[in-house]
Amino acid sequence: MAKFNIFHQLIIISCLSSIPTVAFSVEFNTDMLDTKDTQNIDFSQFSQAGFVMPGNYHLTIKVNNERLGNARDITVGAPTSAEDSLFSVVCVPAAITDQLGLKPEAIRLIKYRDNDQCIDLSALEGSTMSVDLSTLTLTILIPQSYLEYTDPSWVPPSRWEDGINGFLLDYTLTGSFTRRDSGTKESYLSANGTTGLNLGAWRLRGDYQANYRKSSGNYNNEYSDAIFSRLYAYRSLANIASVLTLGENYFYSAIFDSWQFTGLSLETDENMLPPKLTGYAPEIIGIAQTNATVIVKSHDRIVLETTVPAGPFQIQTLDSSIRGTLDVTVREENGEEQKFSITTAALPYLTRPGQVRYKFAVGKPRYDGRHLEGDMTASGELSYGLNNIWSIYGGSILSKNYQAFSAGFGRDLFTFGSLSFDITQSHAKLLSNTLTGRSYRLSYSKSFDEARTDITFAGYRFSDETYRSLQQTLDERRTGIETQAHKESYQVNINKYFDAFSLGGNYQYNTYWNSQTEEQFGAYINTAFNIAYLGLKNISLTASATRSKRAGYQDDAITLYVTVPLTMGSSMSFSEGYTRDQNGRRSSTHNVGYSGYNDQRSYNLNVGYQTGQYQDSQTSFSGYLSQNFPTASLSANASYVPNEYHTVGGSINGGITLVKEGIALHQAAYGGTRLVVETPGASNVPLNGGVYKTNRFGLTVLPNVSSYRKTTASINTSKLPNNIEALESVTEATLTRGAIGYRSLNVIQGEKTFARLKLADGTYPPFGASVRNKNNIELGIVGEQGITWIVGVMPNDLLNLYWGNKLQCSTQVTEFKNSAESYPVLICH
């Protein structure tokens, strides 16, 4: 009977502790309890609705369920009467006023107390406050009528965070070794990435790249280099939706050709704008014949290097700020290289009514790394939305030997899409003469929803023979050699969607006044179908054709790729390829592959056969494996061509972030925004579906989180170790560009035990007294005759007992019991 009474009373206590917050107090009749000592019972903490025992707490503040930064020290005072609300006893820090997102008239209603250290929101009619000690959360609910911005998909700038100070190093390491049957050995190593420091709102960054090549045997040569391709510092300016950058930078213009410089720039950061106004990021698509390395460069700076398996690939991870011509190299395992260029088109320059977008820079142009050239140069561009239909824009570049001016307009055609048109005039002083010319540009974009057709970008540009860009002028003055003078250029991308398949095409055409025409185009078709009598479903087929003309040479490629799904996560693939290179040599490839994947791993096995003019037929065998770990992403590949060569290679992508709370290895963040999550004192805590786990310091890092957008980190409670309890399982943050965010999720690590608590005089603490640890987290509630179920304790942990609204005594846990039949006795002094 005694055991039944114990658990019966514990159930009553847990019910009392979850009484909802109401507007009146409650008195409890202790005679209803099945206990002899009804006088030694303390239900004071349950008698008043929403009552919180006075003291200091480390609480997370949530306003309308939106978390405001890290947890804060909150003081809860003692109520002077039963009518006192939490607004009058809880000290809400005045420092959070700007983060509430209130209208100016609502801010004027706020009352300040305790030497202006605390704010009282009770004057905001309809506002409520509650404290949940089980999750250590202070929740404030404010009616939407007081808030300045209420769009659920947008976080107001007042809640953006610059993060904490720290050091970061993001890296991509790639290596391969090839041994040819002729006796030649080839080694290749490369490293590139970003390192830097975060100091307050400033981000100090260095982009680095290093290469090492060595050949031995029939041909002996060795080459290595290592440079910082860019050193710079930047910070976000939320009040003007802009980013300020100092140091080595690139002026990626929507009007002029891009150029690189060392100096200062200030430009609108489109990521701060509402989602519908964010920029366009270029996409790179292609087909690798073997395990290949794809290298993307802008002005000789590597902006992306990645390894892809044989077959079609699609890269969509380029920064939306990159503009101009990108040089793409697909380096096959056998040493062959495919090279092509893509021009990143800009959307028609439309700006919302009354809104201004701008970009300004001043500095000295540079080339080939750190070399400065020419005179101080200032450049700027600006767009203004006149109304819902028209936008106007313009810009200029000014230096001693070069000036350019541009003006244009953007027009929303509604059902018929949108277009923009501009004229640019240049004045270039060369070594032997001065040239003045004009360039005309027309851009168009349209999505035909009913026809399921996208003309994603279309552009036409015509330039006079005497027109020069800034970079052309600098090159001609430095070398004395005339550059390619652009004449006409076209660029079109079209996609058409049908019920059973989709079609797509892209076309890029460039002519010059003083050199040969360049032309690139491609077309593809995608479809999926079933073969019922074989039980095969969702078979996909992709066919593509490309042609590239450059410097009088022409490369052609036609590829057919079929994928047949097998069991869950695995598939077979078949491909046929035909190529003709710039010398007119034809070749064909035939491949059969098997691939599989799960959440964090993928692999590919491939057998190929290649024939062609002026070459022997070849059979090849290759394999590719990639694995994502919480600390890095790894890939490995190997290939073998009988009587030709064999090669092995691999890559590692990862990052290191060091903050005052500790150090963490993580997947690559490419110098971008990241969120450090700490579970103090607890390691191996799984987050976000188990993709990330805290290390020995209780830290993990979520890489590549979106700047100015809400990021959520959550503990996977179903996979928690048995000795860990999550008091807080979900957190959110909205970080500025490049920030190292920080969040702490409260967890309790320790054992669970029954204990009998006694006071120094041999009596028992009051029934309902609160047992807390040194962090003021409640671990249990005292039952009859001191019997208490305590969670989250370690040997020799100090436990504090509270009743009567104050700390009464302390004790230590010396042994653990998990049964009510036998339990340790803890003396509270």
- Model confidence over 493-522: pLDDT tens digits? 888 888 888 998 888 899 999 998 989 889
User: Does the CA dihedral 803-805-808-812 come out positive or negative?
Assistant: positive
Q: Is residue 4 pLDDT above 80, yes or no?
A: no
Q: Is residue 445 pLDDT above 90, yes or no?
A: no
The pLDDT value given to residue 626: 95
Q: Is residue 441 pLDDT above 80, yes or no?
A: yes
CA atoms within 13 A on the CB side of 325: 13
Residue 190: enclosing H or E segment and its boundaries? strand 185-199
More confident residue, 608 or 351: 608
Helices (H), 86-160: 86-89, 104-107
Inter-CA distances, 127 with 71, 130, 151, 396, Å = 21, 11, 19, 52
| pLDDT, averaged across the chain | 84
More confident residue, 361 or 39: 361
The pLDDT value given to residue 35: 52
The pLDDT value given to residue 311: 66
Give residue limits of the domains in the chain.
1-48+750-829
Q: Is residue 726 pLDDT above 70, yes or no?
A: yes
Round to whole Å and give the CA distance between 394 and 421.
11
Residues 6+ apart with CB under 8 A from 813: 753, 755, 790, 793, 794, 795, 796, 797, 799, 824, 826
Q: How confident is the model at residue 665 (pLDDT cuts 50, 70, 90)?
A: very high
pLDDT in tens, 56-65: 888 888 888 7
- φ/ψ of residue 87, rounded to 5: -60, -30
More confident residue, 318 or 780: 780
Q: Is residue 98 helix, strand or coil?
A: helix
Residues 6+ apart with CB under 8 A from 15: none
pLDDT in tens, 82-140: 666 777 788 888 888 888 888 888 888 888 888 888 888 888 888 888 888 777 888 88
More confident residue, 647 or 62: 647
Q: How confident is the model at residue 541 (pLDDT cuts 50, 70, 90)?
A: very high
Round to whole Å and give the CA distance between 375 and 647.
49
Q: How confident is the model at residue 13 (pLDDT cuts 50, 70, 90)?
A: very low
Q: Is residue 358 pLDDT above 70, yes or no?
A: yes
More confident residue, 625 or 721: 625
Q: Is residue 201 pLDDT above 60, yes or no?
A: yes
The pLDDT value given to residue 388: 72
Rounded average pLDDT over 51-76: 80
The pLDDT value given to residue 345: 47
Q: Is residue 76 pLDDT above 60, yes or no?
A: yes
Gyration radius of the chain over CA positions: 33
The pLDDT value given to residue 17: 42
pTM greater than 0.85: no
The pLDDT value given to residue 49: 52
Rounded average pLDDT over 344-368: 79
Q: How confident is the model at residue 457 (pLDDT cuts 50, 70, 90)?
A: low
More confident residue, 363 or 774: 363
Across 41-45, 154-158, 336-340, 591-595, least confident range: 41-45
Residue 473: enclosing H or E segment and its boundaries? helix 470-479
Inter-CA distances, 807 with 776, 799, 800, Å = 10, 11, 7
Q: Which one is the CATH code of 1-48+750-829: 2.60.40.2070, 3.20.20.70, 3.40.50.300, 3.30.830.10?
A: 2.60.40.2070
Q: Is residue 415 helix, strand or coil?
A: helix
Round to whole Å and give the CA distance between 816 and 193.
50
What percentage of the chain has pLDDT greater than the value 90? 39
The pLDDT value given to residue 15: 44
DSSP 484: P
Q: Are 708 and 737 in contact (CB under 8 A)?
A: yes
Helices (H), 51-124: 86-89, 104-107
- φ/ψ of residue 85, rounded to 5: -95, 170
The pLDDT value given to residue 131: 86
Q: Which residue has the tokens 């790894």?
A: 634
192-206, 400-414, 591-605: which has the highest mean pLDDT? 192-206
Rounded average pLDDT over 552-575: 89
The pLDDT value given to residue 422: 95
The pLDDT value given to residue 82: 61
The pLDDT value given to residue 18: 42
Cβ neighbours of 90 (radius 10 Å):
21
The pLDDT value given to residue 9: 47
The pLDDT value given to residue 632: 94
Across 114-123, 283-292, 411-420, 569-578, least confident range: 283-292
More confident residue, 477 or 534: 477
The pLDDT value given to residue 821: 61
CA atoms within 13 A on the CB side of 97: 18
Q: Are 487 and 461 in contact (CB under 8 A)?
A: no
Amino acid identity at 736: T
More confident residue, 613 or 319: 613
Q: How confident is the model at residue 1 (pLDDT cuts 50, 70, 90)?
A: very low
CA atoms within 13 A on the CB side of 814: 8
The pLDDT value given to residue 21: 40
Rounded average pLDDT over 662-681: 93
